[in-house]
Amino acid sequence: MRPLIQPIVSASIALFVSFSVVRAADAPASAPTTSPVPVIDGIVQPRRPLKDAIADAMAFLKKGDDGYVPGTLDGPLAGYFTSAHVMTDGSPSSRKFAFPARQHAYFIFTFLHYNKYSGEAEWLQRAKDLGDWNLAHSTPSDAAWPNLPWAVWTEGHGGGSQDKDATEPDKAAWFGKAYLALYDVTKDERYLEGAKKIAETLVKKQSEDGSWPFRVVPRDGTVRQQFGGAPVYYVEFFQLLSKRDPNPKWGKAYDRSLKLMIARNVEQNQWGTYHEDIKEKAPEYLSAEPMSFTADWLFRNSKDHPEYIDMGRKVIERMEAALVHTSGHPADPAPAVSEQAGFQHMMPGHTARYCLALTDLYVATGDKDAKRKALSGFNALTYMQSDAGLFRTMFQLVNEKKPHPNREDWYSQHLYTVCHVLEALPKLPELNGK
């Protein structure tokens, strides 16, 4: 991997370089073509202001509303409710499967952040609608694993993709955090109760070693796959729930899951299967999403536990060795992050999440190298966006020779990008041009 920080380039030279970059999707089929991008003081400069990119991204999302009126769930719904995919022009995909527990939760966070950022009330309503939809579409209350949002939703029912008839408890914990975020903003007790119902199920099913199965059939409790998932989701969910409802049960689940996360992910570097559409993988299989989230949680909680800094750095270093690329893409030499070991597509959402972890490392330690990498990566997102406003899922494949013309885009990568930029803005005012 090439080092990110280049020799300082003078402003006059940097500004001479054209902001017009050949994007991977538009490159000639013969070879991946890249053009120099502006680099000032070791930081890749944006193609255009990030605030404009974010505004266009949210306007793009509304193109998939397809008759949906925020606040109305008994009529047409926006494409992101029941489809994971979005067309390049913003119209909804005809493919009717989605990943509610993980992706809807993420969308809720994005909408809440954008509501606060923009002052536009409709985004709070969109967040509430997703929360309400999942309250109404969780696993049955009389199931062996009750009241959990489904990891996959296919053609009007729970399950599908590689989960088949199962769901993923770690993604339910992640959605529990979204319920808590909705409760904090609205004070609507339904969301707090939704989070507590998830917690009740999880507490009863936690093993002595602090783990939960990765894939389990909600109806009867059959375990389809034991190892995998993101322990950090349990850690943060029970941490946040304990602050709002100081029940000793939540604290015990937190302690056990934290011990598991440190042992499994930090000390042993074992991660395994994470995504809903991926078959079972070996424990050493790496995915960028849980790794970034784990490092970020460690950095954010390091004030009371200074040892977490080295733990988080260790996770980041493993990512950088296998999944972070500073060459071979149109925003080179900025970092671009590929999704997982077996699917080496660099994507904007994964890049933004890694940069958020670097941002929190900088906040915790003052590490200027981490800050420069984070700024370069966030600025690089502007090169990953289409003219229509879409943050393109398949930005660039590692060592790609012939760009594929008909790749699908995902609502998730688009909105993940927005979410993490908005989270980073208060910590990195330079992203606002300040």
Give the range among 318-322, 324-328, 361-365 with minimum mean pLDDT. 324-328
According to the model, what pLDDT value does residue 12 have?
A: 32
pLDDT in tens, 375-433: 999 999 999 999 999 999 988 887 766 655 566 799 999 999 999 999 999 999 999 88
pLDDT at 14 over 70: no
Average pLDDT, the chain: 91
Q: Any idea which residue has 């060795």 for tokens?
A: 321
pLDDT in tens, 17-76: 332 332 333 333 323 334 589 999 999 999 999 999 999 999 999 999 999 999 999 999
According to the model, what pLDDT value does residue 7 have?
A: 33
According to the model, what pLDDT value does residue 434 have?
A: 61
Order across the sheet with 336-340: list the strands: 324-325, 336-340, 343-347, 396-397
Average pLDDT of span 336-341: 96
Contact at 8 Å (CB) between 235 and 257?
Answer: yes
Contact at 8 Å (CB) between 44 and 376?
Answer: yes
According to the model, what pLDDT value does residue 9 have?
A: 32
Average pLDDT of span 86-104: 94
According to the model, what pLDDT value does residue 403 have?
A: 59
The type of residue at 29 is A
pLDDT in tens, 278-293: 999 999 999 999 999 9
According to the model, what pLDDT value does residue 27 have?
A: 33
Give the range among 151-160, 217-226, 322-331 with minimum mean pLDDT. 322-331
pLDDT at 6 over 50: no
According to the model, what pLDDT value does residue 404 have?
A: 58
Average pLDDT of span 305-320: 98
pLDDT in tens, 109-127: 999 999 999 999 999 999 9
pLDDT at 151 over 50: yes
**Among 159, 144, 169, CA closest to 219:** 144
pTM for the predicted model, two decimal places: 0.91
Residues 6+ apart with CB under 8 A from 82: 96, 97, 98, 153, 156
pLDDT at 227 over 80: yes
Cα gap 179→181, rounded to integer Å: 5
**Beta strand 343-347 pairing with 39-40:** unpaired
According to the model, what pLDDT value does residue 406 have?
A: 61
According to the model, what pLDDT value does residue 11 have?
A: 32
Number of CB atoms found within 10 A of residue 33's CB: 14
pLDDT in tens, 247-305: 999 999 999 999 999 999 999 999 999 999 999 999 999 999 999 999 999 999 999 99
According to the model, what pLDDT value does residue 223 have?
A: 98
Element at 409 (helix H, strand E) = strand 409-410
Residues 6+ apart with CB under 8 A from 305: none
